Chain A
């Protein structure tokens, strides 16, 4: 892994006697869409507020591109573009004036860049209208526009799909993947929408009651042959296939219909197929059933809500 863009070390936040965030340590590499998943009230937004310096840390330290967020704020925050919760803009200004407002705060952002970003988020038609006439989806787009204005290395989006229609969500998802892969930036997305995270993220950290519970890879882990997964096989005779696999040392379960299920990894899948063919079983189809993030999430958090 290359030098992480974000390094969180034992980040702790206490308010009064309550510990909101408890010794959270996390590294984010460049070029990844990283999901931050947790039930409501688990501390997602608090963590994000600490990452962007809106809240102080009770303990620990956050480094962005090597600069401490508490001691060297003005340097650290340069690498960050963010939307914290809803993208609240100045409603009495036009979308364009809002962007100019933020552009003025960072040296080197030209008018050309502002126009480029406007086009990128698809707001050309309405950018000179007052923000109070915008729909939630348009405000969300404007929020993304202000966050990427200065080409940050780290993009932090808190619940970015709130208020977007399915087409908008898809567009945002594609755009985030593009940013992370083509521009090589790190995208940090928080959400409680599991299915959304599954489609959007490379890795997901799961947080509950202020504690980091798990970090999971969403994509590519089965393909990389590291984890075992449920493999569903469609055959002409499930009974015969199960017996053949038992003989070959695999435990197979009947799934009903023409299906059997085997728990194995990538290499195993090929061997299973070979064993079946050798036993004279006709194989019509093989597919891997990757556990959905929702299954994993509920498994890890025990289905518990706000604790």
Chain B
């Protein structure tokens, strides 16, 4: 039955033919440049390690990667409904599940693209700005675990953050499918992500068993990199397990709702 890759191509076309996608990617690159240039202008160029700036930029700007991907994920299903194009999209010889899957894959490809853009641009820009002249022995204020190199630390950091990104974006994708309204899906996902995350340290201090199962306690996986988890006794494996359960739940609800629901006006 046809070529599934063509569906993904379609979804990619609908993402990358829109100016907003390019605006997002430019903002990300622009901010990397701005932070590095400011650092270069006001910091001490010779005693700064490029890795220091790379880490700072990665930790700050990865939030932006998440926000941008959430915006895309929230729009990808909901906008087909609000513009009415969903009707012409669904009346093709493809099951609804596969159409939804092609959208999900396109969103995940976009998430990875942004993460790669951030990774490559931070390293390239900062290598140009600091790497050439800096003292290679310049001390890092970042605690790289003993025995690890900055690169391996950075890769671990990205891997763990990507896991959280996937879960967050899947949540936005689910909300987009359930509410069929891009604005609501974006608002709710970002509220959960930013709003609840600022309370999460507080909540984590409460001494209830059920808090161990909250999604938001586990979304910040990089807590394990520095070796001090938010709650006593939590391990990386446990957090990944909880996230996996949530992930499966989100996926199941999304596909169920999309397959069952009537497409009315």
The residue in chain A whose Cβ has the minimal distance to the Cβ of B99 is A105
Most chain B beta carbons < 10 A, residue from A49, A55, A101: A101
Contact residue among B85, B94, B260, B264 (Cβ-Cβ distance under 8 Å from A88) = B85
- Report which of B83, B85, B90 forms a contact with A54, defined as CB distance below 8 A: B90
Are A105 and B2 neighbours in the complex by a CB distance under 8 Å? yes
A167 in the interface (beta carbon within 8 A): no
A74 touching B17 by the CB < 8 A rule?
no
The reply to whether B91 and A84 contact each other, CB–CB distance below 8 Å, is yes
- Roughly how many angstroms separate A170 CA and B263 CA in the complex, as a whole number? 31
Whether a CB of chain B sits under 8 angstroms from the CB of A1 is no
Question: Which of A75, A80, A87, A90 neighbours the largest number of chain B CB atoms within 10 Å of its CB?
Answer: A90
Shortest A226–chain B CB gap in Å is 37
- Which stretch, B3-11, B121-129, B170-178, B193-201, touches the partner chain A? B3-11
Q: Is B262 a contact partner of A84 (Cβ separation < 8 A)?
A: no
Contact yes or no, B262 A49, CB < 8 A: yes
Known interface pairs A88-B88, A93-B14; A56-B93 also in contact (CB < 8 Å):
no
A51-78 interface bits toward B, Cβ cutoff 8 Å, 1 = contact, 0 = none: 0111110000000000000000111011
Is A54's CB under 8 angstroms from B263's CB? yes
CB distance from B99 to the nearest CB of A (A): 9
| A82-B14 contact in complex given A49-B262, A55-B264, C-beta closer than 8 Å | no
B262 to chain A, nearest CB (A): 4
Report the separation of the CA atoms of residues A117 and B84 in the bound assembly, to the nearest whole angstrom.
23
A106 touches B90 (CB 8 A): no
Which residue of B has the minimal Cβ distance to A156? B91
Q: Are B93 and A106 in contact (CB under 8 A)?
A: yes
Residues of B within 8 A of A93 (CB): 13-14, 17
- Provide the residues of chain B in CB contact with A85, threshold 8 Å: 84, 87, 265
Please tell me if the beta carbons of A101 and B84 are within 8 angstroms of each other in the complex.
no
| Binary A-proximity of B83-105 (CB < 8 A = 1, otherwise 0) | 11101101111110000000000
Q: Which residues of A contact B10 (CB under 8 A)?
A: 101, 104-105
Q: Is the interface of A mostly helix, strand, loop or mixed?
A: loop
Give the Cβ gap from B20 to chain A, nearest Cβ, in Å: 9
Q: B18 contacts A92, CB within 8 Å?
A: yes
The majority secondary structure among interface residues of chain B is loop
Instruction: Identify A49's interface contact among B13, B94, B263, CB under 8 A.
Output: B263
- The CA of A69 and the CA of B264, in the complex, are separated in Å by 17
CB pair B3 A107 closer than 8 Å: yes
Given contacts A92-B18, A104-B6, A105-B7, contact A77 B92 (CB under 8 A): yes
Within B228-265, which residues are at the interface with A (CB < 8 Å)? 260, 262-265
- Provide the bound-state CA to CA distance between A107 and B90, in Å: 16
Q: How far is the CA of A107 from the CA of B265 in the complex (A)?
A: 29
Please pick, from A45, A56, A88, A97, the residue contacting B13 in the complex, using a CB distance under 8 A.
A97
Report the minimal beta-carbon distance from B79 to chain A, rounded to whole angstroms: 9
Q: Which residues of B contact A82 (CB under 8 A)?
A: 91
Candidate in B1, B9, B87, B95 with the most chain A CB atoms within 10 angstroms? B87
Verify A86–B94 contact, CB threshold 8 A.
no
Contact for B93 among A49, A77, A92, A101, CB less than 8 A? A77
CA–CA, A82 and B263, complex, Å: 15
The answer to the question of A91 belonging to the interface, with a C-beta cut-off of 8 Å to chain B, is yes
**Complex Cα–Cα for A106 and B264 (A):** 24
With CB as the reference atom, state the residue of chain A lying closest to B85: A88
In the bound complex, CA of A178 to CA of B85 (Å):
28
Residue of B nearest to A51 (CB): B91
A91 to B1, CA, bound (A): 28
Docked-complex contact A89 and B6, CB < 8 angstroms: no
Per the bound structure, the CA–CA distance linking A91 and B94 in Å amounts to 23
Q: How far is the CB of A298 from chain B (nearest CB, A)?
A: 27
Which chain B residues border A102 with CB–CB below 8 Å? Answer: 88, 92
Give the complex CA separation of A86 and B87 in angstroms: 10
Is B17's CB under 8 angstroms from A56's CB? no
Q: Are B2 and A54 in contact (CB under 8 A)?
A: no
User: Is the pair A86, B84 in contact by a Cβ cutoff of 8 Å?
Assistant: yes
Enumerate chain A residues within 8 angstroms of B14, measured Cβ to Cβ: 90, 93, 101
Q: Are A104 and B91 in contact (CB under 8 A)?
A: no
- Which chain A residues lie closer than 8 Å to B9 at the CB level? 104
Which of B83, B91, B92 is the most central at the interface, judged by chain A CB atoms within 10 Å of its CB?
B91
Check A146 for interface membership: any CB of B closer than 8 A.
yes
CA of A56 to CA of B86, assembled, Å: 16
> How many angstroms from the CA of A124 to the CA of B14 in the assembled complex?
23
Give Cα A88–Cα B265 distance, bound, in whole angstroms: 12
Minimum-distance CB pairs A-B, first 9: A88-B84, A104-B6, A54-B263, A105-B92, A55-B262, A84-B87, A52-B91, A74-B93, A107-B2
6 A-B contacts, Cβ less than 8 Å apart?
A49-B263, A54-B264, A55-B262, A74-B95, A90-B14, A104-B10
A residues bordering B, Cβ < 8 Å?
45, 49, 52-56, 73-75, 77-78, 80, 82-93, 97, 101-102, 104-107, 146
Residues in chain B within 8 A of chain A (CB atoms): 1-3, 6-7, 9-10, 13-14, 17-18, 83-85, 87-88, 90-95, 260, 262-265
